[in-house]
Amino acid sequence: MGVEFKVENHIAYITLNRPEAMNSLDPEALDKLKEIWTEVRTNRDIWVSILTGAGEKAFCTGTDMKKAPPPSECMASAYLNDGIPIIPYMKMWKPIIAAINGYAVGGGLEMALACDLRIASETAQFGLTEVKVASLAGLNGTQCLPRAIPQAVAMKMLLTGERIDAKEALRVGLVSDVVSPDKLIELADQLAKKIASNAPLSVKAAKQAAVLGMDMPLEHGIQMAHLLWGVLRDTDDRKEGFTAFAEKRAPKWQGK
């Protein structure tokens, strides 16, 4: 199976499962990812997701060049025409954690850039190498990488196609944590459980305010945050949160 998917305790686990092909994306895997992100977006029982790759060699190396469709059926055209993303795009307000084990290059790094938290194993490598094959990081890489790390570093990666290792990725802020390969999924699970223990509507609102606010003047971003606070004020979960705090017990969130 090209992509594995399961949901447990409000956490979706998405695993790119083509280790023999460095977890590259063939047409079947791309179709499956479209289905999965639609499910994550619409399933109210999913509050947070973990995206990773099978094995320790690669998170994802982008499109499987051996099975790439002809130009008339290229991945970018399919992405634009049907409106269903193969990557978790920014308007997915449910948080997504990328657990990066090994190579995250090309479309693999673009998927990681679309996630909210990125953690990496010590063996991870990152790069947008499309210029080496006369192509372009055309999904979100040219826009998101310069927003995620210092512009000079991003431009060097984009124009040279060179990779950086996990240590450098941590230094420039591309990832938040670097751990040994055997601790990667454990850390991802810990982070996901911490997020899932919080009120899901509040978590979504926090992500929405932060992501949209980055492209607004500060005053407008603050106004939007005030509006979202007002939307949350009378929810059942907010009442439950205050009641649980007063009663010194764990809250029981309903997502409404």
For residues 95 and 195, is the Cβ–Cβ distance under 8 A?
yes
> What is the dihedral angle through the alpha carbons of 166, 171, 177, 179, rounded to the nearest 10 degrees?
40
Choose, from 8, 39, 73, 130, the residue flagged as catalytic. 130
Q: State the catalytic residue, choosing from 4, 39, 110, 186.
A: 110
162 is catalytic: no
Asked if 39 is an active-site residue, the reply is no
CB-CB contact of 173 with 164 (8 Å): no
In sequence order, the β-bridge partners of residue 162 are none
Instruction: Map tokens 């006369």 to a residue.
Output: 134
For the chain, what's the residue count? 256
| Measured CA distances, 182 to 50, 70, 77, 99, 116 (Å) | 16, 39, 38, 12, 22
List, by residue number, the catalytic residues: 110, 130
